[in-house]
Homo-oligomer: A and B are copies of this chain.
Amino acid sequence: MKYCNECGAPVSLRIPEGDNLPRYVCARCNTIHYLNPKLVVGCVAEWESRILLCRRAIEPRYGLWTLPAGFMENGESTVQAALRETLEEACARVRIDDLFSLVNVPYIGQVHLFYRGRLLDTNFAAGAESLETALFAEAEIPWQDIAFRSVALCLKDYFADRSAGRFAFHEDDLLPEAGF
């Protein structure tokens, strides 16, 4: 951030009075610009024990597989975000069940939420940001080609819970050492 959204003057990074963190503050109109974490929301959509994955047609992680998920928009709920992203990335209609996984990715300012879901039919297809979409049984998951660590973590928790016959809510924090 270099310029003020409100007046167009340059901003400088300093700790505002009464605050304890550096913020971008406008030198002219004194607007304080707060930068906050973004929510990424998606779902583990199941059809006859298989899971819907999308192969990414965009960077980062072009060509790798992921759960349908993306940045939550203003004006929608977390469930609406999961439904929208699943429709956009996999042209798939799902029923969303409980929240399953929350993964903090603090070093890139993101919180990832994954719901459990069920495909309503198999009329899915690659959306604009996907190269292809497919259903994978647990033994078929391309673990070496999963795009994001949060997705791999969520899938591992999902299969462990499913084997145990009981889905619980999972919360994890990722550390930066291994990239995304």
Interface residues of A, Cβ cutoff 8 Å to B: 1-10, 18, 21, 33-39, 71-80, 98-99, 102, 104, 106-107, 109, 111, 128, 169, 171, 173
Contacts and interface: CB of A to CB of B under 8 A. Distances in A.
A43 to B, nearest CB: 14
A171 B99 CA distance: 8
Copies of this chain, count = 2
- Interface of A, helix, strand, loop or mixed by DSSP: loop
Given A72-B36, A74-B37, A76-B106, A98 B3 contact: no
Contact of A4 (B3, B21, B80): B3
A111 to B, nearest CB: 6
Nearest to A9: B8
